[in-house]
Amino acid sequence: MIQAFSEWLAATSLSRLFADLGWFVPTVQTIHILAIAAVVTLLSMLNFRLLRITRSGPSLQSLAAGYVPWVWRSLVILLVSGILLTMTEPSRELMNNAFRLKMLLVLVLTVLTVILRSTLRHDPEYWTTTPQRRLLGGTIAAVSLILCVSIVAAGRLIAYV
Amino acid sequence: MSTLDLMHSLEQLPFAQAISESTWLFPFFETVHVLALTLVVGSVAMMDLRLLGIGSRDRTITELTRSVLPWTWAAFGIAAICGLLLFSSKAATYYVNIPFRIKIVCLLFAGVNMLVFHFVTARNVAAWDSGRTPSAARVAGVVSLSLWVVIVATGRWIGFTT
């Protein structure tokens, strides 16, 4: 079914138009990478703070309030640029296992970021009140960092698998 | 010996050959290079947006520099090492590649822009540490952001022209 959808998408006039424009894919990929840079940097700084690797500067709650809206804006750019790239080369993306893994990991990372943001919004000290929460917060931060690395790796590996 | 001959000699070095001949070494170093680059660009952009008064306005320039710059340098070191390793595997091809040359020139300009900001513009940072930045600092921010966008764009373009 995905194969048939990819073939249908590739045959649409918009997909052909994008594919014929030599500058289109590198330009959209550049925008995609710049948005990834924003997400990876902001989430890394937030999660390093949650892991208490960094301790100075604003509080975790203040960092989350400042950074997470930028993460959402960047994710919108990633979604739009990602859809454009998929429309241009549907089979290269949709039939690719690295791409599918990347999408799954993005979904998990989004859920973890929503959990982090909403808990801190309701209680700025949520992740520091008990040892169990400190451990859980640290685990979420570590998993988020691993996800960031894995998403970039899976994205680059789309070209190789 | 011409520079191009030197590039061909570089390709013959054992580690360059290993990367060139291996199926997974090139994608591995490329992935680490991209990952480190995202941190360099992201952290540099945080500083630049602060200089422009767009982001992190509640933080002083010196405090933000102290917390962000170590990550920038660490990530830049990793990106540079991986970049050199990738370059060595196809040195002659990259050496004559126009997007690659533009990328390196922009990297040099970004370095000069940073040095000018650090040693000239920021000498009296105490006067505007928490307030509105002077126009020289905002120019440094715009120049830096522009150069890093071109660095990412030309970096991506290399893959389409080699």
Q: pLDDT (tens digit, 9 = 90+) per residue, B122-142? A: 999 999 998 889 999 999 999
A45, closest residue in chain B (CA to CA): B68
Residue B96: its pLDDT value, please? 96
pLDDT 10s digits, A107-152: 999 999 999 999 999 998 899 889 999 999 999 999 999 999 999 9
User: To 10 degrees, what angle do helices A24-50 and B25-51 make?
Assistant: 80
Q: DSSP secondary-structure letter at A16?
A: H
Contact B71 A40 (CB under 8 A): no
Question: Domains of chain A: which residue ranges?
Answer: 2-157
Say if B67 is an interface residue toward chain A (CB within 8 Å): yes
Per CB distance under 8 Å, which residues of A are interface residues toward B? 25-27, 29-30, 33-34, 36-38, 40-42, 44-45, 54, 56-58, 62, 66, 70, 149, 152-153, 156-157, 159-160
CA angle B51/B127/B65 to nearest 5° reads 40
Please provide the average confidence, as pLDDT, over all residues in chain B. 95
Give Dmax over CA atoms of chain B in angstroms: 56
pLDDT 10s digits, A73-102: 999 999 999 999 999 999 989 999 999 999
- pLDDT of A54 strictly over 90: no
Q: DSSP secondary-structure letter at B132?
A: P
The token pair at A45 is 């700084």
Residue A38: its pLDDT value, please? 97
What ipTM score was computed for the predicted complex, to two decimals?
0.92
- pLDDT of A56 strictly over 90: no
Number of neighbouring beta carbons within 10 Å of residue B84: 14
Among B38, B152, B157, beta carbon nearest to A40: B38
CA angle A94/A96/A101 to nearest 5° reads 95
- pLDDT of B107 strictly over 90: yes
Say if B13 is an interface residue toward chain A (CB within 8 Å): no
CA-based radius of gyration for chain B? 18
* A58 chain-B contacts, CB cut-off 8 A: 58-59
CA angle B60/B128/B73 to nearest 5° reads 50
pLDDT 10s digits, B56-100: 888 899 999 998 999 999 999 999 999 999 999 999 999 999 999
Residues 142-161 of B with CB under 8 A from A: 149, 152-153, 156-157, 159-160
Say if B31 is an interface residue toward chain A (CB within 8 Å): yes
Residue A58: its pLDDT value, please? 85
